């Protein structure tokens, strides 16, 4: 018996009371729904509906920091991409266009330039002493695996950021942990799209078109300062709007949250090392 002939939903078995199942939302398929014209109409409709939601989300993300998070907190979920949808979209774009390798950490940096390097360096050295035949292949495998893992593990930054944001509002009973994870996911979506993709892409384009040289100005120090100022500014407006705080409360929370970026990146890199090391070995 086809679904069109069946009085019950094929997904959950609930009797149909109309065109849609009132229990699970499954659509009752009629004969006209199996025509090619209907399939094409659904395809076109889905594309334009998705695009409308996508562009509304990106517009608010860039022009009204905190508006998406406030909408999420207030229960407005259908008009915009969800926090995780936006974050994973940004992650995909960063994966396709890795203009700045902020989240990838080479083996040398892991072993010599981070606060925990004295701890992880003996681990690598002991492994290579026990497997001298892998001295060359290990580094190559590690770098390739770390590059892939670095993008896959970005969700850890969202979790760390959200937990710290919750800590800053610990006495505020108006919000739940999921509300802070939402703000964190939207923030990192903005951070990846703007600071790691759009900004370096624009600089590269201007440099290429005008034959200008930004290398002398955009060194590691100036980039770090620009990024920190941008992070503080965006988080200030996000916190103020999304969580309905005053100016002073938004400022001190933004200062602490911006300062937390550095240790959160360190924790992320530490976990990245161990995940990569376990995968490679």
* Block residue for tokens 């670095």: 150
pTM over 0.85: no
Task: Give the residue-averaged pLDDT of 197-217.
Answer: 67
**Please, are residues 99 and 201 in contact by the beta-carbon 8 Å criterion?**
yes
Handedness of CA 35, 38, 40, 46 (dihedral sign): negative
The predicted structure's pLDDT at residue 4: 44
The predicted structure's pLDDT at residue 83: 94
The predicted-structure confidence for 91-106, as pLDDT tens digits, reads as follows: 888 888 766 666 678 8
Q: Which of 44, 39, 19, 15 is nearest to 29 (CA)?
A: 19
Q: Quick one: how far is CA 131 from the chain centroid?
A: 37
SS3 203: helix
The predicted-structure confidence for 218-239, as pLDDT tens digits, reads as follows: 566 777 788 889 999 999 999 9
Position 186 pLDDT exceeds 50: yes
SS3 27: strand
What percentage of the chain reaches a pLDDT higher than 90?
49
The predicted-structure confidence for 202-211, as pLDDT tens digits, reads as follows: 777 766 666 5
The predicted-structure confidence for 252-261, as pLDDT tens digits, reads as follows: 999 999 999 9
Neighbour-count burial of 260, counting CB atoms closer than 10 A to its CB (0-12 exposed, 13-18 middle, 19+ buried): middle
What percentage of the chain reaches a pLDDT higher than 70?
83
pLDDT confidence bin for 212, thresholds 50/70/90: low
The predicted structure's pLDDT at residue 50: 56
The predicted-structure confidence for 140-173, as pLDDT tens digits, reads as follows: 999 889 988 888 888 999 999 999 999 999 989 8
The predicted structure's pLDDT at residue 2: 42
Task: Give the residue-averaged pLDDT of 66-83.
Answer: 91
**Please, are residues 160 and 264 in contact by the beta-carbon 8 Å criterion?**
yes
Alpha-carbon distances, residue 54 vs 47, 114, 165, 183, 190 (angstroms): 10, 38, 26, 17, 14
Q: Please, how many CA atoms are within 13 Å of residue 165, restricted to the half-sphere of its CB?
A: 30
When the pLDDT of each residue in the chain is averaged and rounded to a whole number, the result is 84
The predicted structure's pLDDT at residue 3: 43
Position 43 pLDDT exceeds 80: no
Which has more confidence, 211 or 201?
201
The predicted structure's pLDDT at residue 66: 95
**Tokens for 48?**
């334009």
């Amino acid at each position: 018996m086809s679904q069109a002939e069946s009085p019950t939903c094929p997904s959950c078995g609930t009797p149909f009371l109309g065109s849609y199942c009132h229990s699970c939302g499954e659509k009752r398929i009629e004969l006209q729904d199996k025509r090619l014209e209907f399939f094409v109409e659904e395809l076109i409709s889905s594309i334009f509906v998705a695009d409308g939601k996508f562009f509304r989300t990106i517009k608010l993300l860039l022009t009204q920091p905190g508006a998406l998070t406030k909408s999420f907190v207030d229960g407005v979920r259908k008009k915009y991409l969800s926090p995780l949808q936006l974050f994973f979209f940004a992650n995909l774009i960063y994966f396709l266009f890795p203009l700045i390798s902020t989240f990838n950490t080479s083996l040398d940096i892991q072993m010599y330039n981070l606060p925990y390097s004295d701890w992880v360096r003996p681990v690598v050295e002991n492994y290579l002493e026990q497997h001298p035949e892998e001295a060359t292949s290990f580094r190559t495998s590690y770098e390739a695996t770390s590059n892939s893992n670095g993008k896959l593990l970005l969700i850890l930054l969202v979790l760390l950021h959200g937990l710290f944001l919750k800590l800053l509002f610990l006495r505020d009973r108006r919000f739940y942990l999921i509300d802070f994870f939402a703000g964190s996911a939207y923030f990192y979506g903005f951070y990846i799209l703007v600071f790691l993709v759009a900004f370096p892409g624009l600089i590269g384009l201007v440099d290429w078109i005008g034959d200008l040289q930004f290398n002398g100005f955009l060194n590691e120090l100036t980039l770090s300062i620009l990024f920190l100022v941008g992070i503080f500014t965006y988080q200030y407006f996000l916190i103020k709007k999304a969580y309905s705080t005053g100016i002073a409360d938004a400022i001190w929370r933004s200062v602490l949250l911006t300062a937390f970026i550095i240790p959160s990146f360190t924790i992320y890199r530490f976990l990245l090392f161990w995940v990569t090391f376990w995968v490679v070995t």
